[in-house]
Protein backbone atom coordinates (compact mmCIF):
# COMPACT_ATOMS: atom_id res chain seq x y z
CA UNK A 1 0.00 0.00 0.00
CA UNK A 2 2.16 2.85 -1.22
CA UNK A 3 -0.61 5.36 -0.60
CA UNK A 4 -0.82 4.74 3.10
CA UNK A 5 2.15 6.85 4.20
CA UNK A 6 0.91 9.71 2.04
CA UNK A 7 -2.51 9.60 3.61
CA UNK A 8 -0.94 9.42 7.03
CA UNK A 9 1.24 12.38 6.21
CA UNK A 10 -1.71 14.39 5.00
CA UNK A 11 -3.73 13.68 8.10
CA UNK A 12 -0.82 14.78 10.31
CA UNK A 13 -0.56 17.89 8.22
CA UNK A 14 -4.18 18.74 8.86
CA UNK A 15 -3.72 18.06 12.54
CA UNK A 16 -0.33 19.54 13.37
CA UNK A 17 0.35 19.79 17.09
CA UNK A 18 1.40 23.40 16.78
CA UNK A 19 -0.09 26.60 18.03
CA UNK A 20 -1.65 29.18 15.75
CA UNK A 21 0.84 31.06 13.68
CA UNK A 22 3.78 28.83 14.58
CA UNK A 23 4.29 27.27 11.16
CA UNK A 24 3.70 30.57 9.38
CA UNK A 25 6.18 32.37 11.59
CA UNK A 26 8.95 29.83 10.96
CA UNK A 27 8.24 29.98 7.23
CA UNK A 28 8.48 33.76 7.48
CA UNK A 29 11.79 33.62 9.35
CA UNK A 30 13.19 31.06 6.89
CA UNK A 31 12.30 33.21 3.91
CA UNK A 32 13.31 36.48 5.55
CA UNK A 33 16.78 35.21 6.44
CA UNK A 34 17.48 33.28 3.25
CA UNK A 35 16.10 35.85 0.83
CA UNK A 36 18.10 38.68 2.37
CA UNK A 37 21.23 36.53 2.61
CA UNK A 38 20.94 35.41 -1.01
CA UNK A 39 20.19 38.94 -2.21
CA UNK A 40 23.33 40.22 -0.49
CA UNK A 41 25.32 37.27 -1.83
CA UNK A 42 24.08 37.99 -5.33
CA UNK A 43 24.96 41.66 -5.10
CA UNK A 44 28.43 40.62 -4.03
CA UNK A 45 28.94 37.58 -6.25
CA UNK A 46 27.79 38.77 -9.65
CA UNK A 47 30.20 41.73 -9.83
CA UNK A 48 32.99 39.43 -8.66
CA UNK A 49 32.06 36.88 -11.30
CA UNK A 50 31.93 39.59 -13.98
CA UNK A 51 35.32 41.00 -13.05
CA UNK A 52 36.83 37.53 -12.98
CA UNK A 53 35.11 36.58 -16.22
CA UNK A 54 36.36 39.59 -18.13
CA UNK A 55 39.84 40.08 -16.83
CA UNK A 56 42.94 38.02 -16.48
CA UNK A 57 45.19 38.41 -13.51
CA UNK A 58 47.89 36.48 -11.79
CA UNK A 59 46.50 33.96 -9.33
CA UNK A 60 43.09 33.81 -10.97
CA UNK A 61 43.10 30.03 -10.90
CA UNK A 62 43.98 30.14 -7.24
CA UNK A 63 41.06 32.45 -6.44
CA UNK A 64 38.83 30.15 -8.45
CA UNK A 65 39.85 27.12 -6.48
CA UNK A 66 39.27 28.98 -3.24
CA UNK A 67 35.75 29.82 -4.37
CA UNK A 68 35.16 26.23 -5.43
CA UNK A 69 36.39 25.01 -2.08
CA UNK A 70 33.96 27.42 -0.45
CA UNK A 71 31.10 25.50 -2.02
CA UNK A 72 32.02 22.59 0.20
CA UNK A 73 32.29 24.46 3.52
CA UNK A 74 30.40 22.50 6.16
CA UNK A 75 27.69 24.77 7.47
CA UNK A 76 28.50 23.89 11.08
CA UNK A 77 32.02 25.22 10.61
CA UNK A 78 30.68 28.42 9.09
CA UNK A 79 28.31 28.66 12.05
CA UNK A 80 31.19 28.33 14.49
CA UNK A 81 33.23 30.98 12.71
CA UNK A 82 30.31 33.40 12.66
CA UNK A 83 29.63 32.56 16.31
CA UNK A 84 33.17 33.54 17.23
CA UNK A 85 32.75 36.77 15.29
CA UNK A 86 29.41 37.83 16.81
CA UNK A 87 29.87 36.42 20.29
CA UNK A 88 30.26 38.94 23.06
CA UNK A 89 33.96 38.03 23.16
CA UNK A 90 34.37 38.33 19.39
CA UNK A 91 35.26 41.31 17.19
CA UNK A 92 31.60 42.09 16.47
CA UNK A 93 30.54 41.50 20.08
CA UNK A 94 29.46 45.07 20.84
CA UNK A 95 26.83 44.88 18.09
CA UNK A 96 25.00 42.19 20.10
CA UNK A 97 24.18 40.08 17.08
CA UNK A 98 24.26 36.69 18.74
CA UNK A 99 20.92 34.84 18.54
CA UNK A 100 19.45 37.28 16.01
CA UNK A 101 18.28 36.99 12.43
CA UNK A 102 21.14 39.25 11.39
CA UNK A 103 23.69 36.72 12.60
CA UNK A 104 21.84 34.02 10.67
CA UNK A 105 21.93 36.20 7.57
CA UNK A 106 25.69 36.57 8.00
CA UNK A 107 26.30 32.84 8.12
CA UNK A 108 23.99 32.13 5.21
CA UNK A 109 25.72 34.87 3.24
CA UNK A 110 29.01 33.08 3.78
CA UNK A 111 27.43 29.80 2.71
CA UNK A 112 25.58 31.09 -0.36
CA UNK A 113 28.30 33.30 -1.83
CA UNK A 114 30.69 30.59 -3.11
CA UNK A 115 28.13 28.64 -5.16
CA UNK A 116 26.61 31.81 -6.59
CA UNK A 117 30.02 33.18 -7.57
CA UNK A 118 31.32 29.91 -8.99
CA UNK A 119 28.26 29.03 -11.04
CA UNK A 120 27.83 32.60 -12.32
CA UNK A 121 31.48 32.62 -13.32
CA UNK A 122 31.06 29.35 -15.16
CA UNK A 123 28.01 30.73 -16.95
CA UNK A 124 29.81 33.94 -17.93
CA UNK A 125 32.94 32.23 -19.20
CA UNK A 126 30.73 29.74 -20.99
CA UNK A 127 29.22 32.39 -23.25
CA UNK A 128 30.41 31.81 -26.79
CA UNK A 129 33.48 33.84 -27.74
CA UNK A 130 31.67 34.82 -30.98
CA UNK A 131 29.05 36.71 -29.00
CA UNK A 132 31.67 38.91 -27.39
CA UNK A 133 33.43 39.45 -30.70
CA UNK A 134 30.18 40.37 -32.40
CA UNK A 135 29.37 42.88 -29.69
CA UNK A 136 32.83 44.39 -30.06
CA UNK A 137 32.57 44.54 -33.83
CA UNK A 138 29.22 46.26 -33.64
CA UNK A 139 30.96 49.06 -31.78
CA UNK A 140 30.02 48.13 -28.24
CA UNK A 141 31.89 49.56 -25.30
CA UNK A 142 33.19 47.28 -22.58
CA UNK A 143 29.96 47.87 -20.68
CA UNK A 144 27.85 46.93 -23.70
CA UNK A 145 29.81 43.74 -24.17
CA UNK A 146 29.37 42.89 -20.52
CA UNK A 147 25.62 43.47 -20.73
CA UNK A 148 25.34 41.27 -23.81
CA UNK A 149 27.30 38.51 -22.14
CA UNK A 150 25.21 38.83 -18.97
CA UNK A 151 22.06 38.54 -21.03
CA UNK A 152 23.37 35.42 -22.70
CA UNK A 153 24.40 33.97 -19.36
CA UNK A 154 21.18 34.81 -17.52
CA UNK A 155 19.98 31.23 -17.22
CA UNK A 156 23.25 30.17 -15.72
CA UNK A 157 23.13 33.11 -13.32
CA UNK A 158 19.56 32.31 -12.34
CA UNK A 159 20.69 28.76 -11.67
CA UNK A 160 23.53 30.14 -9.57
CA UNK A 161 21.15 32.23 -7.46
CA UNK A 162 18.81 29.29 -7.02
CA UNK A 163 21.68 27.06 -6.01
CA UNK A 164 22.70 29.66 -3.45
CA UNK A 165 19.15 29.94 -2.20
CA UNK A 166 18.86 26.17 -1.96
CA UNK A 167 22.05 26.03 0.06
CA UNK A 168 20.93 28.85 2.35
CA UNK A 169 17.39 27.77 3.14
CA UNK A 170 18.18 24.10 3.58
CA UNK A 171 21.16 24.38 5.90
CA UNK A 172 20.66 23.72 9.57
CA UNK A 173 24.05 23.66 11.26
CA UNK A 174 24.99 27.31 11.25
CA UNK A 175 21.57 28.89 11.89
CA UNK A 176 21.14 26.57 14.84
CA UNK A 177 24.43 27.73 16.34
CA UNK A 178 24.21 31.47 15.71
CA UNK A 179 20.42 31.80 15.78
CA UNK A 180 19.68 29.64 18.80
CA UNK A 181 16.40 28.24 17.44
CA UNK A 182 14.34 30.66 19.53
CA UNK A 183 10.60 31.12 19.64
CA UNK A 184 8.70 33.30 22.04
CA UNK A 185 6.61 31.57 24.67
CA UNK A 186 3.48 32.01 22.56
CA UNK A 187 5.06 29.99 19.77
CA UNK A 188 6.00 32.76 17.38
CA UNK A 189 9.40 32.23 15.86
CA UNK A 190 12.21 34.66 16.47
CA UNK A 191 15.14 32.74 15.04
CA UNK A 192 13.59 29.35 14.34
CA UNK A 193 13.63 28.34 10.70
CA UNK A 194 12.03 25.37 9.00
CA UNK A 195 15.28 23.43 9.20
CA UNK A 196 15.91 24.06 12.88
CA UNK A 197 12.24 23.32 13.61
CA UNK A 198 12.69 19.98 11.82
CA UNK A 199 15.79 19.34 13.89
CA UNK A 200 13.85 20.13 17.08
CA UNK A 201 11.02 17.77 16.15
CA UNK A 202 13.50 15.02 15.31
CA UNK A 203 15.31 15.59 18.61
CA UNK A 204 12.04 14.91 20.39
CA UNK A 205 11.36 11.85 18.31
CA UNK A 206 8.35 13.36 16.57
CA UNK A 207 9.42 12.13 13.18
CA UNK A 208 6.02 12.56 11.53
CA UNK A 209 5.75 16.26 12.25
CA UNK A 210 9.40 16.65 11.30
CA UNK A 211 8.56 15.02 7.98
CA UNK A 212 5.61 17.33 7.42
CA UNK A 213 7.79 20.37 8.01
CA UNK A 214 10.26 18.85 5.55
CA UNK A 215 7.51 18.68 2.97
CA UNK A 216 6.70 22.34 3.64
CA UNK A 217 10.36 23.21 3.12
CA UNK A 218 10.58 21.33 -0.17
CA UNK A 219 7.34 22.93 -1.36
CA UNK A 220 8.73 26.34 -0.46
CA UNK A 221 11.95 25.78 -2.39
CA UNK A 222 9.93 24.48 -5.33
CA UNK A 223 7.77 27.58 -5.24
CA UNK A 224 10.76 29.92 -5.20
CA UNK A 225 12.32 28.02 -8.09
CA UNK A 226 9.13 28.28 -10.10
CA UNK A 227 8.91 32.02 -9.47
CA UNK A 228 12.52 32.63 -10.48
CA UNK A 229 12.25 30.52 -13.63
CA UNK A 230 9.06 32.36 -14.52
CA UNK A 231 10.76 35.73 -14.09
CA UNK A 232 13.70 34.53 -16.15
CA UNK A 233 11.38 33.48 -18.97
CA UNK A 234 9.61 36.79 -18.98
CA UNK A 235 12.85 38.66 -19.51
CA UNK A 236 13.45 36.76 -22.74
CA UNK A 237 10.61 38.52 -24.49
CA UNK A 238 11.91 41.41 -26.51
Partner 1 sequence: MSIHRRTLIATIGAGAVGSVAGCSQFGSGSNQADGDGSDGSDGGNGGQSDSEDAQQPGVAGETLTLTTTTSTYDTGLLDAIHPDFEEMYGVTVDAVAQGTGAALETARNGDSDIVMVHARGLEDEFMRNGYGINRRDLMFNDFVIVGPEDDPAGIQGMGSATEALTAIADAEAAFVSRGDNSGTHTKELNLWEAAGTEPGGDWYQEIGAGMGEALNNANQQGAYTLSDRGTFISQRSEIDLVILVQGPIEDGPEILANPYGVMAVNPGVHGNANYDLAMAYIGWITSPGAQEAIADYQMNGEQLFFPEAVSENPDFQQYVPQGWSSDSSDS
Task: Name the residues that contact partner 1, by CB under 8 A.
Answer: 87-89, 93, 96, 98-99, 180-187, 190, 200, 202-207
Separation between Cα atoms, residue 79 and residue 170, nearest integer Å: 14
Nearer to partner 1, 42 or 183 (CB): 183
Q: Which residues pair with 189 in a beta bridge?
A: 183
Least Å distance between CB 13 and partner 1? Answer: 18
Nearer to partner 1, 45 or 189 (CB): 189
86 within 8 A of 94, measured Cβ to Cβ: no
Least Å distance between CB 133 and partner 1? Answer: 56
Nearer to partner 1, 128 or 186 (CB): 186
Read off φ and ψ for residue 183, nearest 5 degrees: -125, 160
Least Å distance between CB 184 and partner 1? Answer: 6
Nearer to partner 1, 118 or 211 (CB): 211
In this structure, which long-range contacts are made by residues 233-237, counting pairs with CB atoms below 8 Å and at least 24 apart in sequence? 235/154
Least Å distance between CB 189 and partner 1? Answer: 11
SS3 141: coil
User: Helices (H), strands (E): how many in the chain?
Assistant: 11, 0
Least Å distance between CB 62 and partner 1? Answer: 35
Burial state string for 106-115 with b = 16 or more CB within 10 A and e = fewer than 16: bbbbbbbbbb
208 within 8 A of 9, measured Cβ to Cβ: yes
Separation between Cα atoms, residue 63 and residue 77, nearest integer Å: 21
Nearer to partner 1, 97 or 135 (CB): 97
SS3 189: strand
Amino acid sequence: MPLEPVVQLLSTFLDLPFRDGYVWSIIYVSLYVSVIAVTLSTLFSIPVAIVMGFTDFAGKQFVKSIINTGMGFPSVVVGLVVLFAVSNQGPLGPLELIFTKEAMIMSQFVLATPPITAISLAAITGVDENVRDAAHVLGGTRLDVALVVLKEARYGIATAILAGFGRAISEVGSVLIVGGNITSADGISKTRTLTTAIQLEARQGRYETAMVLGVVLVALVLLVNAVVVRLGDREVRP
